[in-house]
Structure 1
Amino acid sequence: MTLWNGVLPFYPQPRHAAGFSVPLLIVILVFLALAASFLLILPGIRGHSRWFWLVRVLLSLFIGAEIVAVHFSSEWFVGRVNTSTSYKAFSAARVTANVGLLVGLQGINITLTGTPVQQLNETIDYNEQFTWRLHEDYDAEYADALEKGLPDPVLYLAEKFTPSSPCGLYHQYHLAGHYASATLWVAFCFWILSNVLLSTPAPLYGGLALLTTGAFALFALFAFASISSVPLCPLHLGSSALTPHYGAAFWVTLATGILCLLLGAAVVCLHYARPSALRTLLDQSAEDSRNQAKGGAPLILNNPLYKQAGCSDLSTTTNL
């Protein structure tokens, strides 16, 4: 037994809690780098338009970051409970721990944290992930967990989501996550398109793209919420029951979808009711918009000072 430093032979090594989600961390860092880059050039924008650009860019980056980040979040459907439960198979020892179930679009995370962490001469702090992404085999991951000898609460919750479980949760959650993820990627594409169109002399189409972004974000919620019609098997851990509910990722996506709808509706309404105010908000001048719409010369060529400099022929040629 000294070979494994006091750990049973079928435990290859002491377990350690998983760290922060690497894909989620990368997404956050990328969008923070974009925001920081914009803040560096912000002092170069003169006048009141500086504050319009600040709100516009940071709000847009928040929407884009949220749409991408929730793909890698496990907090779409969550539940936690403090309980006294059995710890390992073939052992009557019990531990007091906090057990958490986090369901995402690509799989589930199961956490087990002892209260206190040090019990039975071990550090009880687990964070295990089981995925159902494409090219991932949930059954194989569950079999690996059995071979590793993970604690009973982790194996109990993971078994409820196996394809062969009588609960039948795997197929519903797998399909709901798959369609919600695909719909969110469509929303992300329309978010990119809306940023491009709002920088053109036709902001109306940018507003329509924002409306479509919000609509697809809400469609993703409806796709994931379809699991609410599936009765969840009772999850009993010791003397307590674990009752999941919608998590932070679900509600943040809902807020982002509503925000996109409101912003898109505001752009469309301003386009028809107050086009001059919309151009001011988007830092576009009315004369510039008319020039570009008619295919005319840039404003600098029509400037009297430019013509006095002897460049009137060039202006005429350009207009032709």
Structure 2
Amino acid sequence: MTLWNGVLPFYPQPRHAAGFCVPLLIVILVFLALAASFLLILPGIRGHSRWFWLVRVLLSLFIGAEIVAVHFSTEWFVGTVYTTTSYKAFSAERVRAHVGLQVGLEGVNITLTGTPVQQLNETIDYNEQFTWRLDEDYTAEYVSALEKGLPDPVLYLAEKFTPSSPCGLYHQYHLAGHYASATLWVAFCFWLLSNVLLSTPAPLYGGLALLITGAFALFAVFAFASISSVQLCPLRLGSSALTAHYGAAFWVTLATGILCLLLGGAVVSLHYTRPRALRIFLDQSEDSSSHGTEGSPLILTNPLFKQLGVSDLKLTTKL
């Protein structure tokens, strides 16, 4: 049996801890590639515009990456505990372990790591994901976990989130994730729209789109917080209780929403108070938007004029 490294082919293979979230990794790599591509062409931008474009593009990419990445993060509601607990059903053997609970918009992630990892002649290192997407059946995944014989702490926490559990956590967090995810996708659409509008001669509408982006990001945070504000039913593992709190994804989304509101408010304010400074920051030409001064020529250049053999038009304004 050397082909199977000493493991019989018709028996369950050894379990391994789950790796990094693949969709989250893809999102991070895509936005990092966009940022790297921009940094490569940055030396071709002359003058002070180079730094304006650097701040503008990197801020925009950060906002877009955050809005998409938090959909696949399980760091919305987290809790950890070090405890001594039972390891297998119908067994008096106990292990010392670190148990983690992470609730995201699409499911629950439960980790169990022994301290030390090697106990009872086994490697205690589990990372199990239970999802409640529209096309996933949480109950079926829980039943599959029972059939695989996962450790007691993992099954105990997973059972608390089943639809039939008296705790009601499944309906609570499933609904919270559904509304938060929907509002975040709307925020992403307005983020795309804001990037387009800020590159046009009408930056006011880009600022308004940024304000709406921030508003929907905050709606997602408030939706998750309001629905998940109900206290968890007691989660006791051995002699210790697991307590949960809002995680990194929750706070980063809140900060991103506030950032979008500040940036959008700044664009709208500058449009009415300092339009020239706004055009300079957005690297837009002032010739096409200035009204001119008395007796000063206003030059209108259009590629169509050159094709027709007409030189640049000069208009003299009179007040």
Q: 1:140–1:287: structure 2 CA closer, same or farther, 3 Å change rule?
A: same
Instruction: Give secondary structure in 2 for the equivalent of 1:289.
Output: coil
Match of 2:217 in 1: 217
- Aligned residue identity for 1:12: P
Q: Judge conservation of contact 2:101–2:111 (CA < 8 Å) in 1.
A: yes
Per the TM alignment, residue 35 of structure 1 is displaced from its structure 2 partner at its CA by: 0.3
Instruction: Give secondary structure in 1 for the equivalent of 2:99.
Output: strand
CA distance in 2, matches of 1:6, 1:224: 45
Match of 2:55 in 1: 55
Task: Report sequence identity in percent.
Answer: 83
Per the TM alignment, residue 315 of structure 1 is displaced from its structure 2 partner at its CA by: 3.2
Does the alignment pair 1:298 with 2:301? yes
CA distance in 2, matches of 1:287, 1:297: 8
CA distance in 1, matches of 2:47, 2:205: 27
Instruction: Give secondary structure in 2 for the equivalent of 1:125.
Output: strand
Per the TM alignment, residue 135 of structure 1 is displaced from its structure 2 partner at its CA by: 1.2
CA distance in 1, matches of 2:229, 2:34: 40
Report matched runs for 1:51-200 at 5 Å: 51-200=51-200
Q: 1:42–1:96: structure 2 CA closer, same or farther, 3 Å change rule?
A: same
Per the TM alignment, residue 259 of structure 1 is displaced from its structure 2 partner at its CA by: 0.3
Does the alignment pair 1:314 with 2:310? yes
Match of 1:265 in 2: 265
Instruction: Give secondary structure in 2 for the equivalent of 1:135.
Output: coil
Kindly report the root-mean-square deviation, in angstroms, between the aligned alpha carbons of the 2 structures. Answer: 2.4
Which structure 2 residue ranges, 5 or more long, are not aligned? 292-298
Q: Judge conservation of contact 1:72–1:105 (CA < 8 Å) in 2.
A: yes
Q: 1:92–1:229: structure 2 CA closer, same or farther, 3 Å change rule?
A: same
Q: 1:5–1:88: structure 2 CA closer, same or farther, 3 Å change rule?
A: farther
Q: Judge conservation of contact 1:66–1:256 (CA < 8 Å) in 2.
A: yes
Per the TM alignment, residue 312 of structure 1 is displaced from its structure 2 partner at its CA by: 9.1
CA distance in 2, matches of 1:4, 1:159: 35
- Aligned residue identity for 1:14: P
Instruction: Give secondary structure in 1 for the equivalent of 2:109.
Output: strand
CA distance in 2, matches of 1:117, 1:271: 60
Per the TM alignment, residue 143 of structure 1 is displaced from its structure 2 partner at its CA by: 0.1
Instruction: Give secondary structure in 1 for the equivalent of 2:102.
Output: strand
Q: Judge conservation of contact 1:74–1:105 (CA < 8 Å) in 2.
A: yes
How many residue pairs get aligned? The number is 303
CA distance in 1, matches of 2:301, 2:22: 48
Per the TM alignment, residue 54 of structure 1 is displaced from its structure 2 partner at its CA by: 0.4
Deviations 1:88-142 (A, max 9, x none): 1121111100000000000000000000111111111100000000110000000
CA distance in 1, matches of 2:222, 2:6: 50
CA distance in 1, matches of 2:40, 2:204: 30
Deviations 1:44-86 (A, max 9, x none): 0000000000010001000000000000000000000000000
Q: Which has the higher helix share?
A: 1
CA distance in 1, matches of 2:86, 2:55: 53
Instruction: Give secondary structure in 2 for the equivalent of 1:80.
Output: strand
CA distance in 2, matches of 1:301, 1:142: 67
The TM-score with structure 1 as length reference comes to: 0.90
Instruction: Give secondary structure in 1 for the equivalent of 2:284.
Output: coil
CA distance in 2, matches of 1:316, 1:252: 51
Instruction: Give secondary structure in 1 for the equivalent of 2:117.
Output: strand
Per the TM alignment, residue 257 of structure 1 is displaced from its structure 2 partner at its CA by: 0.3
- Aligned residue identity for 1:140: A
Deviations 1:171-216 (A, max 9, x none): 1110110110010000000000000000000000000000000000
- Aligned residue identity for 2:59: L
The 4+ residue runs of structure 1 with deviation greater than 4 A are 3-7, 299-302
Instruction: Give secondary structure in 2 for the equivalent of 1:167.
Output: coil
- Aligned residue identity for 1:248: A
Per the TM alignment, residue 313 of structure 1 is displaced from its structure 2 partner at its CA by: 4.5
Deviations 1:237-283 (A, max 9, x none): 00000000000000000000000000000000000000000000000
Report matched runs for 1:33-44 at 5 Å: 33-44=33-44
Q: Judge conservation of contact 1:297–1:315 (CA < 8 Å) in 2.
A: no
CA distance in 2, matches of 1:12, 1:4: 13
Does the alignment pair 1:208 with 2:211? no
Match of 1:256 in 2: 256
